[in-house]
């Protein structure tokens, strides 16, 4: 079993749990922006946007650089590869369980057909 850094995972998933923060990542995927520009885009106060950016920065998903009075944000160094692997492992688990359930349902349908019964509506 692969061991993951729980604190890193917690920070990543906590950062991604908020729609505004996911939107900020989408924006920064297109172009770097200042906190002021992000606040305007999301109709938020500067203080509110700074808090969101701080959460993303702590998770390594956003990096900021201050030049003069402007703090510019860009995508950070984290690529969420470990998180994607963790999610994929559970996706495969659930897919396998649903495949088995489909087999059971098909078997029951086949048995009903053989026995001359029709499923009740």
pLDDT in tens, 5-31: 678 889 999 999 999 999 999 999 999
In a domain? residue 22: yes
Calpha distance 109→117 (Å, rounded): 9
Sign of the C-alpha dihedral, residues 44, 79, 87, 3?
Answer: negative
How does pLDDT run across 88-119, given as a tens digit for each residue?
998 999 999 998 998 989 998 888 888 876 55
Please check whether residues 68 and 90 belong to one and the same domain: no
Q: Residue 2: is its pLDDT beyond 60?
A: no
Summary mean pLDDT of the chain: 90
In a domain? residue 1: no
Please check whether residues 16 and 68 belong to one and the same domain: yes
* Cα 112 from chain centre: 42
Please check whether residues 85 and 64 belong to one and the same domain: no
| Domain that includes residue 97, residue range | 80-121
Total domain count for the chain? 2
Domain boundary among 40, 59, 75: 75
Contact 8, 57 (CB under 8 A): no
Please check whether residues 91 and 71 belong to one and the same domain: no
Domain boundary among 57, 75, 93: 75
Model pLDDT, residue 5: 61
In a domain? residue 98: yes
pLDDT, greater one: 79 or 118:
79
Instruction: Name every residue whose Cβ is closer than 8 Å to that of residue 11 and which is 6 or more positions away in sequence.
Output: 58, 59, 60
Rounded to two decimals, what is the model's pTM? 0.74
CA atoms within 13 A on the CB side of 31: 5
Model pLDDT, residue 58: 93
């Amino acid at each position: 079993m692969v061991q993951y850094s729980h604190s890193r995972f917690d920070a990543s998933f906590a950062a991604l749990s908020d729609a505004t923060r996911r939107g900020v990542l989408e924006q920064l995927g297109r172009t770097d922006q200042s906190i002021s520009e992000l606040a305007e885009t999301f109709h938020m106060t500067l203080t509110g946007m700074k808090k969101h950016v701080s959460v993303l920065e702590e998770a390594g998903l956003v990096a900021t650089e201050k030049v003069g009075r402007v703090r510019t944000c860009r995508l950070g160094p984290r690529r969420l590869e470990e998180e994607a692997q963790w999610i994929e492992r559970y996706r495969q688990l659930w897919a396998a369980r649903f495949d088995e359930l489909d087999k059971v349902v098909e078997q029951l349908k086949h048995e009903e057909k053989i026995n001359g019964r029709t499923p009740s509506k």
